[in-house]
Structure 1
């Protein structure tokens, strides 16, 4: 993505009316929440997914393998950020965000529709891992492209508020994912939840995918000038901004790792290891998602 302090375009985007900014916030946040819902709901059902695709003779083995599969998505996120971020600079933010939601739909479909290990053997976990790789590639490109679009859609004095909707939408995804799990665990018998109930949130995300795609296709484009002829974005980033990249990476590592441990891993750990009711652990996940929403909104209003 382009550096905010040293733009790589011929001219900055023109100021936009408040109504246009509101439409951008709604469209970008809705699509981002849908993508992050599809990406993170895997962790809430990790214990059940582990039993379905990883038949290991151990209490913790399936959970560990399922969480490892969840983690595979993060291997692809840096690559997604680089490839799709570069694509967003060349083709525009809207094109990049349309691509990310297509990748997320494909990955989610593989997870939602793949039969169990008992039915198709080792092919099942392989397909699920491929699905997570696609989701990770999508999520890596989604974060950068959507954050940049939000930043470019508002005035300089309101960038903190605009970009805060990136984190707010992730909080919404965490809240809805945990809430769907809590409702399903409260309504369905344990056998039904383990057999097919865990697939419902993925299928819901899959059904909503075309809606997100439509929204993305009609986003206002903020990237209006072609990149100049100073070489590739990746090479220029490494050559001129490596220090900022390293600093930004270190700043985000702590918060991101803490987020995924406490918000997304702990509910699965509480069910599988602490033997807490699934509904109880997922309600705690709802509280975490709500906290993210409020904290991000307040912080965004304070930051210029």
Structure 2
């Protein structure tokens, strides 16, 4: 008997277990940018605060360029060894890097060894996140009923939003409870050490996840592939171009609203850091709340109309929104809530959409390599670019990306309800 929306029950325990590990990954990733304004001059020389902050962002960007390598290696690992095993490895790498950062000696104590250790920890985290996104996306896509894949997919960014919300709330409460000197001295270490504890929780939750039937059925086919990355280009060039096309805008939206706007608002526009963290926390709550409804809408009415609206609205609204990044909680609430509210149109279904574009034997590697290469090029450089470009120029850059993404989305097939290949 066909499964219908009336009879189907979501495997909530399995979805939470799969997504909880992803939450730990993104928590560790998010706290780096959220607390960078406090630890930059602890890890890099104090003489020039701007140079220290730029060096911190450069390290952030460097980690992004290891994401494609992690996506390729861990994606291939997942295609031949299993999604579950790969997801356990990624969470161990990410949380281990978080503990290392939380325990780093300062530049005053050990000189250039301090930033060197930071770079190594971030490289490990970059590779881990590169593998996590592709493998968790493939896992959620493969365990879902075709008619519910958007709803299953929405749990990915429910967990991501929850992780970023925790990071933002930590920033809010720590910045209110500690003065600037205490935050710079030891306050910034607290969230990184918490990340290590959360990693243990994520490992415990994921240990009991079953492997997907699609992986088991296609394992031998995956193992027999020669030059799998070249195969994605040779046999699935359209899918590669489409993943790159919509990931371009998706990653710019993520790192604009979740990462780059925080230091931009505080350092460039003179906003109060407490107001920024509070506005981001409220908007992140909205972001989480809209994930499942957006997944439901995509399952009911289709992926393509939903993300066409998102890209078009972003192209029109992102520059006007940037002019509201000013001191004052009201302005900041509008910017973050509108930006992140629109963004849920793609985040709720991105794992499903990417899983639907590649066959099972190439799914982990196909998503991991091409998604993460795009994120490295455009997301990893976002904090640097927003600091380097004058005024609202960066937001024009995002608007142009939105136009490009809109044109790419026009070429997408409608995959609502279609079984995975």
After TM superposition, the score normalised by the length of structure 1 is: 0.90
**Residue by residue, what CA displacement relative to the aligned partner does 1:237-279 show, whole Å, maximum 9, x if unpaired?**
1221122112111111112112202221111222233333322
Which residue among 231, 253, 259 is the counterpart of 2:254?
259
Range 166-175 or range 132-141, more displaced:
166-175
Are positions 1:275 and 2:270 aligned together? yes
Are positions 1:26 and 2:24 aligned together? no
CA contact (8 A) 1:98 1:213 kept: yes
Aligned partner of 2:345 in structure 1 is none
Q: In 2 relative to 1, CA 230–131 (structure 1 residues): closer, same or farther, beyond 3 Å?
A: closer
Q: In 2 relative to 1, CA 92–19 (structure 1 residues): closer, same or farther, beyond 3 Å?
A: farther
Equivalent-residue separation in structure 2 for 1:208 and 1:169 (angstroms): 13
Point out where structure 2 has 5 or more consecutive residues left out of the alignment.
1-6, 300-421
Which residue among 240, 244, 267 is the counterpart of 1:245?
240
Alignment of 1:133-148 (within 5 A): 133-148=123-138
Structure 1 residue 98: deviation in Å? 0.4
Which residue among 158, 162, 166 is the counterpart of 2:148?
158
Aligned partner of 2:383 in structure 1 is none
Structure 1 residue 184: deviation in Å? 0.7
Q: In 2 relative to 1, CA 233–34 (structure 1 residues): closer, same or farther, beyond 3 Å?
A: same
CA contact (8 A) 2:99 2:195 kept: no
**Residue by residue, what CA displacement relative to the aligned partner does 1:99-119 show, whole Å, maximum 9, x if unpaired?**
101110221122111111011
Structure 1 residue 56: deviation in Å? 4.8
Structure 1 residue 150: deviation in Å? 0.7
Q: In 2 relative to 1, CA 157–37 (structure 1 residues): closer, same or farther, beyond 3 Å?
A: same
Equivalent-residue separation in structure 1 for 2:246 and 2:293 (angstroms): 19
Are positions 1:95 and 2:85 aligned together? yes
Secondary structure of 1:220's aligned partner: coil
Aligned partner of 1:84 in structure 2 is 74
Aligned partner of 1:4 in structure 2 is none
Structure 1 residue 281: deviation in Å? 1.3
Equivalent-residue separation in structure 1 for 2:196 and 2:96 (angstroms): 9
Structural RMSD (CA): 1.7
Aligned partner of 2:204 in structure 1 is 214
Structure 1 residue 168: deviation in Å? 1.7
Equivalent-residue separation in structure 1 for 2:279 and 2:56 (angstroms): 21
After TM superposition, the score normalised by the length of structure 2 is: 0.65
Alignment of 1:1-304 (within 5 A): 21-222=11-212, 223-225=215-217, 226-228=219-221, 229-304=224-299
CA contact (8 A) 1:173 1:289 kept: no
Equivalent-residue separation in structure 1 for 2:225 and 2:265 (angstroms): 52
Equivalent-residue separation in structure 1 for 2:9 and 2:81 (angstroms): 25
Point out where structure 1 has 5 or more consecutive residues left out of the alignment.
1-16
Q: In 2 relative to 1, CA 18–269 (structure 1 residues): closer, same or farther, beyond 3 Å?
A: same
Equivalent-residue separation in structure 1 for 2:131 and 2:19 (angstroms): 15
Secondary structure of 2:66's aligned partner: helix
Aligned partner of 2:412 in structure 1 is none
Equivalent-residue separation in structure 2 for 1:224 and 1:266 (angstroms): 43
CA contact (8 A) 2:157 2:288 kept: yes
Equivalent-residue separation in structure 1 for 2:278 and 2:101 (angstroms): 24
Equivalent-residue separation in structure 1 for 2:297 and 2:15 (angstroms): 18
CA contact (8 A) 2:71 2:131 kept: yes
Structure 1 residue 57: deviation in Å? 3.0
Equivalent-residue separation in structure 2 for 1:285 and 1:69 (angstroms): 23
CA contact (8 A) 1:86 1:234 kept: no
